Amino acid sequence: MSASSFFGKKGTSPTSFYFRVMFEGRSDMHSSFQEVSGLKLELGIAELQEDRDTNFIHAVPTKPTYSNLILKRCLEPNPALNSWCKDAFENFNVDPKNIRISVLGTARTALVSWEVQGVYPISWELVKMDHSSNEPAIETMELKYRNFKKSM
């Protein structure tokens, strides 16, 4: 699979974009984000020694692992999304959701999307706010997930 086919439509290289995150069955939780990271898949490696008499070690692939998903955006109200996070953090009621992350181009059309399964919040942070700065308040959500796949 070529790199361009994995990341988006062939010949498409967005220079100005943002991300739409849609929650399956919960349109009230849909949000836009300015930064997304953590869609990472990595095979585990187990090292197996051939025998005691040799120093040869085999590197054998094991099950894949996934990074945490990081979403960043300007602080904005989203009662349903906030309630989902609050319920996990305060009541330990973890309710995994399936989401779709889409890269939107300047025409607000999806350039590429990923389906992410079993998503739940594990961290929320508000960056330092300074009254003398005109910078917007940025919230960061960190999410755990089971797996992901490219969907278009």
138: closest CA among 33, 56, 47?
Answer: 33
Residue 82 corresponds to which tokens in the numbers above? 């906030």
Three-state secondary structure call for residue 5: helix
pLDDT in tens, 13-50: 555 568 999 999 999 999 999 999 999 999 999 998 88
Chain-centroid distance of CA 129 in Å reads: 25
CA dihedral of residues 105, 111, 115, 119 (deg, nearest 10): -20
139, β-bridge pairs: 73, 126
Q: State the pLDDT at residue 133.
A: 79
| CATH class of this structure's domain 3-150 | mainly beta
Q: What is the pTM of this model?
A: 0.79
78 CB contacts (<8 Å, ≥6 apart)?
29, 31
Tell me the domain boundaries of the chain. Answer: 3-150
